Structure 1
Amino acid sequence: MHSACPALDDRIARLRQLAQADARLEGVLLYGSWTLGEADAHSDIEAYLYIQEDHLADFNGPAFLAQLAPLKLAYTNMYGILAVVFDDLMRGEFHLTAAGPGIDEVPTWQGMVHLPHPDDAILLDRTGRLTHAARQLAEFRPPQPVPTAQQLSDELANWTLMLAHVLARGETARAHALLHSVIAPQQLQLCRLLRDSTAHWLTPSRALEQDLPAADRDRYTATTATARQHDVRTAACNSWRWSRNLAAEAADRWTINLPHELHEQISSLLNETR
């Protein structure tokens, strides 16, 4: 597989060579935009390094990755993933994982990870176990509409009620964070579900400009704001109106249950904060 970024292709090819030469590694599995055929000059390199259990404790991840290119930064991030920045400013995320349990876990990613070309995503597989596991992720399984729409509609009501309380307390910065980091991704997922556009389900803002109609993009834009009190309050009201519209559309399409009285009460609380 080749991408629109020759530098990334070269780095992946180099990673394949290094992994094959390092007997401590049992397998290497790529994930992310390269495996979806969507990588470009701004893409990261993301992979699982499956290390033999007796070598995991002494495997020096930064030293291994520095053989790809000089590192400007290497640290374990908040999710326990080795994050690096190469000298050309390409980012990388690498899971250093025990081969036995790590490879066994791969099939459980169904519905969360899609590898349309699993054999291309595998840079090393000494035993065949990783290939067998990764091939189970080749078929994309879109979310089930009815339970997913119900879940998202309930989430939006719950989190927007919290947003209304936070605004009433006068915590503008916290409300701003809730609006953009918690509520907006779930709105976009519900919108994608309704538009039958779930290819970027796990990162619903990805390729939004190409995936969703202009009317939805405008509604999303109206939910964004600077962290100023008036702007956040206006965006919160716009956000809740869009959430209610999406939930109502989902209810008409899939007959999900909506707590209408609660929705009205949330609207009243938000209006009081304006």
Structure 2
Amino acid sequence: MFLQKRIIQSVKENCEQNSNVASCMMYGSFTKGEGDQYSDVEFYIFIKDDKFENFQSRQWIAEIASYDLMFQNEYGTEVVIFSNLIRGEFHFLPESKIEVIKTFKPTGVFPDTDSMFIYDTTGMLKQCLDHLGGDGPERMTNENVNFAFNNFVNAWLMGINVLKRGELARSLEVLTYVQKYILHLLRVKEQNVERWLNSTKNLENDLTSEGYKDYSLITSKLQKDDLENAYTHALTVAEKLIESLKPKYDFEVDIHIIIKLRHCL
């Protein structure tokens, strides 16, 4: 049994035994049939309104399993590194906020909402989870294609300019945005957009060998020649993507902007 499964079971048992907990749901890889020994465990835990102010999340987590580190990240999520080096994310909210679950609908596809159900005393959790079922948001739209391409152009020009200035580290950082928007376009081309918000996840299996090679060409080390090659290849990949996608999508900026960008190299 995966160590994560033991933590999941311990979370369930602690919810059942702790009278402060109103509901609990899980999300992430283990709810999509993709969990393995490298996966995180991720939960939303709703605390009864009158108990929330004095609820001690650290104590509650300690009752699940021993941990070496627990802190609140920039998004307000409680991040836990358990002593067995399993990583966990815990969102603690008051019970009255349970309908926040319905706002997750635009973020992706939830193929098995039953697997997300951990514990409930409110009678509302299943209703909220059922709302997430069915098809995910439409990603292969004209709006998304233009958003990706326009932002690619913007990131590419910024990245090449700071590279010319000699800011290699900054150019490498900007290259991650170039990669992000190219990857969105690659996923549209290959009609593989389920992981739109986490586009690099399972990329080795999601893309065709051609698509994966195109993506690999726009990666780089922190070296001037490598960065120049990555930015050069990014234009070539973008041009190919425009040619492939333009029969189905109306681009706000035509392919001639790629020609102008090449003069910046």
Q: Percent identity?
A: 24
User: Which residue of the partner structure matches residue 35 of structure 1?
Assistant: 31
User: Which residue of the partner structure matches residue 201 of structure 1?
Assistant: 196
User: Which residue of the partner structure matches residue 228 of structure 1?
Assistant: 223
In the TM superposition, 1:255-266 aligns within 5 A as 255-266=250-261
> Comparing 81-90 with 7-16, which one deviates more in the overlay?
7-16
User: Which residue of the partner structure matches residue 171 of structure 2?
Assistant: 175
> Comparing 142-151 with 92-101, which one deviates more in the overlay?
142-151
Q: CA deviation at 1:243?
A: 2.2
| C-alpha separation in 2, matches of 1:168 and 1:148 | 30
User: Which residue of the partner structure matches residue 6 of structure 1?
Assistant: 2
User: Which residue of the partner structure matches residue 148 of structure 2?
Assistant: 152
| C-alpha separation in 2, matches of 1:215 and 1:33 | 27
Q: Which amino acid aligns with 2:220?
A: A
Q: Which amino acid aligns with 1:154?
A: N
| C-alpha separation in 2, matches of 1:260 and 1:243 | 9
Aligned partner of 2:160 among 164, 167, 191: 164
| C-alpha separation in 2, matches of 1:153 and 1:122 | 38
Q: CA deviation at 1:34?
A: 0.6
Q: CA deviation at 1:244?
A: 2.8
Cα pair distance change 1:55/1:247, threshold 3 Å: farther
Count of aligned positions: 264
Give the secondary-structure state (helix, strand or coil) at the position aligned to 1:248. helix
Q: CA deviation at 1:152?
A: 1.0
- Does residue 101 of structure 2 align to residue 106 of structure 1? yes
Q: CA deviation at 1:39?
A: 0.3
Aligned partner of 2:186 among 188, 191, 209: 191
In the TM superposition, 1:66-105 aligns within 5 A as 66-101=62-97, 103-105=98-100
Aligned partner of 1:16 among 3, 12, 18: 12
Cα pair distance change 1:116/1:129, threshold 3 Å: same
Q: Deviations over 1:29-60 (max 9, x none)?
A: 11110111100000010111112233223222
Q: Which amino acid aligns with 1:152?
A: A
Q: Which amino acid aligns with 2:143?
A: P
Q: CA deviation at 1:261?
A: 4.1
| C-alpha separation in 2, matches of 1:92 and 1:247 | 40
| C-alpha separation in 2, matches of 1:34 and 1:131 | 18
Q: Which amino acid aligns with 1:107?
A: K
| C-alpha separation in 1, matches of 2:187 and 2:147 | 14
RMSD: 1.6
Q: CA deviation at 1:223?
A: 0.7
Q: CA deviation at 1:154?
A: 1.2
| C-alpha separation in 2, matches of 1:95 and 1:185 | 27
Give the TM-score normalised by the residue count of structure 1.
0.90
Contact residue 115 and residue 134 of structure 1 kept, 8 A: no
| C-alpha separation in 2, matches of 1:136 and 1:91 | 28
User: Which residue of the partner structure matches residue 133 of structure 2?
Assistant: 138
Contact residue 167 and residue 175 of structure 1 kept, 8 A: yes
User: Which residue of the partner structure matches residue 53 of structure 1?
Assistant: 49
Contact residue 204 and residue 212 of structure 2 kept, 8 A: yes
| C-alpha separation in 1, matches of 2:93 and 2:178 | 32
> Comparing 71-80 with 258-267, which one deviates more in the overlay?
258-267
Q: Which amino acid aligns with 1:79?
A: Y
| C-alpha separation in 2, matches of 1:52 and 1:156 | 45
Give the secondary-structure state (helix, strand or coil) at the position aligned to 1:15. helix
Contact residue 49 and residue 94 of structure 2 kept, 8 A: yes
Cα pair distance change 1:58/1:114, threshold 3 Å: farther
Give the TM-score normalised by the residue count of structure 2.
0.93
Q: Which amino acid aligns with 1:133?
A: C
| C-alpha separation in 2, matches of 1:193 and 1:261 | 21
Cα pair distance change 1:113/1:128, threshold 3 Å: farther
Q: Which amino acid aligns with 1:81?
A: T
Contact residue 31 and residue 115 of structure 2 kept, 8 A: yes
